[in-house]
Structure 1
Amino acid sequence: MNYIWDLLIRAEDEGFAKKDIQFHLAKDFSPYMELSPQLLNAQQLEQQVEVNPYYRYYEIFKNLFHPDNVNDLELRQYFLDFLLHFLAEIDRMQGMNKREFSIQFILREIDANVFGNTVRDNMHAFTKKEKEMVVLNILRLYQTGDEIYLLKDTMKRLFSHCMIYVKSEEQDELLLYIGQKKSAFNEMKVRLVQEIFLPVNFQMEVYWQNHFGIIGAEETMKLDRIALY
């Protein structure tokens, strides 16, 4: 990492909020690097980050920390941190394409409760990459309207060993076998995907660790491991 935007993206991937990262004027820095970590090869992300603000933003910061000015250092430090966060967001927006803008727009809409309480309240169970995957499939849903396919695709990306059966002889029904232990976070993920992608005329039954029995499929017919349908 050499840029402030790169560091903020990594911080988000590791679960940090933007406010958790604070930028400081580096005491000693290289004129060829924007970030000035004490250890160049450090793997652990630091929340207090020393920066060379003159690397790309000399015209903005050239007079902020003049050596002869020793007044209001705390205020000037706060201004530096605030402005670098702002500049990093501009950096990120300049590097985004139309799809990435759309993903961020829908994530904001979800957070604003446009998609309803169920979607908003269960979205925090997802990782950053999972959120982007779900939102990308929402965009595909707007384009294609193929709810069943996108429900299957989303579930398989979230639960790699899941199996989905469509049963429509008597009523439209989906049978979803997760293949994992039932947990609060997994339940929230299934609930959100069901809310977004399940057609209104369908019902869905969810099976977690135990598969329902299928005659002729021996792996589903083991004693004490058969779920009732």
Structure 2
Amino acid sequence: MASILALTRNNKRDSKRNKAQTNRSSSGSIRIIGGQWRGRKLPVRYAQGLRPTTDRTKETLFNWLMHDTTDAVCLDLFAGSGSLGFEALSRYARTVTLVEKDAANARQLQTNLATLNLSAQQATVIQQDALQVLPTLGEQYDLIFIDPPFHQGLAEQALALIQQHKVLKHDGLLYIETESELADIGTQFQLQQLKQKSTGQVAYGLWCLSAD
């Protein structure tokens, strides 16, 4: 009997340990690195294909955007953790629209917006496929973040729709983060490259509409 009780207790401990490990592996956090919420951490879910932009990459990007974020109307496609959108809001963007297909991720974005006491006029979450949303927006943006899951052709499709439906303002900026082999992706859409960097398997850059 004693050995059976000991086995039962061990099974319960293993079950609790496995549950705790599962909870830790399914959640994490992102850190806002600049602006009014500098150093603030926000919870995120770990989901398949979710790849938050690293702090180092964000620092480089927002140094590039030093004079372009304040009062900007922004669109964060494939928002995921919302890392880029929240960083823009911290740096006084006028408004950010976050588009996220995954329902649980979208709910977490809404929760984080509420945590930061942001109104619907400042930030909106659209829980829908980004490629379906783009033709329906009816608005032009100063700054668009494109950081989709890799190896699915999503960046190319998004750029085609942005061009077709004139989603970017004439003097607007596009941030594109892709697989390193797609570093020159903007050229096929008549975009002008302003900045470009690569880190390992990731390429990221800042683009604008060609003067031509």
Normalized per residue, the structure richer in helix is 1
TM normalised by structure 2 equals 0.31
Question: Greater Rg, structure 1 or structure 2?
Answer: 1
Normalized per residue, the structure richer in strand is 2
